[in-house]
Amino acid sequence: MFESLAEKLEGIFKKLKGRGVLNEESVNAALKEIRMALLEADVNFKVVKDFIEDVRLRAIGKEVLESITPGQQVVKIVHDRLVELMGNTSANIKFGSRIPATIMLVGLQGCGKTTTAAKLALILSREKKVYLVSADVYRPAAMEQLAVLGRQIKAGVFDAGSLRDPVKICVEAVEQAKKEGYEVVIIDTAGRLHIDDLLMEELRKIKDKVNPSEILYVADAMTGQDAVNVGTKFNELIGIDGVIMTKMDGDARGGAALSLKAVVGKPLKFVGIGEKIDALEVFHPERMASRILGMGDILSLVEKAQATIDEKTAREMEQSLRKGDFSLEDFRNQLQQVKKMGSLKDMMGMIPGMGKIKALKDAQPDDKELIKITAMIDSMTKKERYNYLIIDGRRRKRIALGSGTMVQDVNRLLKNYVEIRKMMKKINQKGGIKSLMRNFPF
C-alpha cells in the first residue's frame, strides 16, 4: 500500500531539495509530477485537482521561495495538505449517552464486515463489555462465522435462535444486551453484490428501530475508487458516521483512502491490515501522511530548524563568508544556533536511519562540549576572535584559565576552527550558506 506513490514522491522531492534556489517554474514542474503520481495511485481526479491547486497557492508565496530551505518547505506543505485531506486528527467512535451504545457495520459483500466486527470488538473490549450480533440471515453459516470469532476473543454473541427477521434480531439483541449489562453492541449486517433497494430498505429499518450511535461503512481498499463511490451512495441512502477501510495490507494503490474524506465527507476511523483478529488499527492521518512521504519524524525537524535559525544571523554569516572570513565569533554564533535546536543527539535521532549508525553517534560533540567551546570563545578578546593567528601560547593559557578549561582544549578548539574555516571556504565557493544549511544538520 502506498509504496509506489511513496517511491515516486521521494524521487520528486529529492530533485526539489537538491536545487539551490526554487522559483515558480521549478515548483510548477514538481507539482505536475506530484499530480501524476497521485492519479496513478488512484486518487479521485477532482481531489487531485484541488489538492495541487492548494499546494501551488501555498508554495509559490514569497516566504517559501525565499526561505533558507525552500525545497523542504514545499515538502512540508504537501505533507500538511495530505494530513488535511485525510481529516487532520484521528476520529474516534462516538458512543453516545445510551447504554448499550450500538455500532452498525454496513458494506458490500465480502468487504470484511464480519471479520471487522470481531476485530473492533477486540479493540473496544479493552475498556468496555462488548456484544456481537449477526443480522445476516441470508448467507449460510454467516451467523456461525461471527459466533466462532466471538468465542475466540471472548466477547458475548447474541443467539438468534429461530428468528429470521434481521430487524427483529437486532431489536431483541439490544434488549438482551441491556439485560446482561453489555455496554456496546456491534451489529454485523448482510452484504450484497451491489447496492440494491432491498438491502437499503432493510438497513434503514434496522437503523430506525435500533437508532445506532454510529454507522460505519466498511470499504474494501482493493476495490479502489468503487469503494469511494459506494460509500457516497451508502451515505446518501442511510447516512454513515465514518469508514473502516479493510485490506490495506494488500497491494491496492491506496488512492481510495486518500479520497474518502474529501468525496464522501466522512472520516476514515480504522484500517484493516491483515486477516488476523488483531489486525485493525486506529487511523492516524498524520502518521499516514508521513508514511506516504517516507520521512519518519523529519518534518518536526524541519519545523524546529525553521523556528530557531533566525534568518538575520544566517544572512550576516553569509555576508562574512562572502568577504572570505569566518571568525571565531561567527563560529560561536553558529554553535548557538545548533544549540537552540536542542541536543545534537536528539536531532540525529529524528532523522530516519541516522540513529542506527554507530560511527555517527560517537562523532557527535555532546552538549557539554558545546558549552565548553562557547566559554572559551567568550574568554577571547575581540581582536583574537577576528584574527586567530595572534593567539599564541601565552594567550592560550589565559583563555584556558578564563574559561575553566585546559590549554589542550583551547588547542583542540583552534585546530577544529581552522578545519571548519577551510570547509566553509569551500562551501562558499559552491553556493554559500544556503547550501550549508541544506546539508546541516539534515
Ligand X SMILES: Nc1nc2c(ncn2[C@@H]2O[C@H](COP(=O)(O)OP(=O)(O)OP(=O)(O)O)[C@@H](O)[C@H]2O)c(=O)[nH]1
**Residues forming the site for ligand X (CB under 6 A):** 107, 109-115, 136, 139, 142, 191, 246-247, 249-250, 272-275, 279
What, of Mg ion, ligand X, none, does residue 354 touch, CB below 5 to 8 Å by kind? Answer: none
Question: At closest approach, how far in Å is the CB of 95 from Mg ion?
Answer: 23
Q: Which pairs with CB-CB distance under 8 Å and at least 24 residues apart come from 405-413?
A: 405/372, 405/375, 405/376, 409/372, 409/376, 410/376, 413/373, 413/376, 413/377
Question: At closest approach, how far in Å is the CB of 237 from ligand X?
Answer: 17
Question: At closest approach, how far in Å is the CB of 208 from ligand X?
Answer: 22
What, of Mg ion, ligand X, none, does residue 337 touch, CB below 5 to 8 Å by kind? Answer: none
Closer to ligand X by CB, 145 or 403: give it: 145
Closer to ligand X by CB, 87 or 272: give it: 272
Closer to ligand X by CB, 102 or 403: give it: 102
Q: Which residue is nearest to Mg ion (CB)?
A: 114
Closer to Mg ion by CB, 38 or 122: give it: 122
CA distance 355 to 168: 58
What, of Mg ion, ligand X, none, does residue 272 touch, CB below 5 to 8 Å by kind? Answer: ligand X
What, of ligand X, Mg ion, none, does residue 171 touch, CB below 5 to 8 Å by kind? Answer: none
CA distance 131 to 345: 49
Beta bridge partners, 103, equal 186, 214
What, of Mg ion, ligand X, none, does residue 112 touch, CB below 5 to 8 Å by kind? Answer: ligand X
- Contact in structure between 212 and 104 (CB atoms under 8 Å): yes
- Contact in structure between 441 and 365 (CB atoms under 8 Å): no
Helices and strands in the chain: count of H runs, count of E runs: 22, 8
What, of Mg ion, ligand X, none, does residue 247 touch, CB below 5 to 8 Å by kind? Answer: ligand X
Question: At closest approach, how far in Å is the CB of 254 from ligand X?
Answer: 14
| Residue 152 CA, distance from chain mean position | 33
- Contact in structure between 225 and 259 (CB atoms under 8 Å): yes
Closer to ligand X by CB, 214 or 330: give it: 214
Question: At closest approach, how far in Å is the CB of 252 from ligand X?
Answer: 10
Question: At closest approach, how far in Å is the CB of 110 from ligand X?
Answer: 5
Closer to ligand X by CB, 111 or 427: give it: 111
CA distance 439 to 17: 10
| Residue 126 CA, distance from chain mean position | 26
Beta bridge partners, 188, equal 105, 134
Closer to Mg ion by CB, 43 or 280: give it: 280
What, of ligand X, Mg ion, none, does residue 246 touch, CB below 5 to 8 Å by kind? Answer: ligand X
Interacting residues toward Mg ion by CB under 5 A? 113-114
Dihedral in degrees, nearest 10, Cα atoms 254, 286, 14, 40? 20
Question: At closest approach, how far in Å is the CB of 107 from ligand X?
Answer: 6
- Contact in structure between 359 and 390 (CB atoms under 8 Å): no
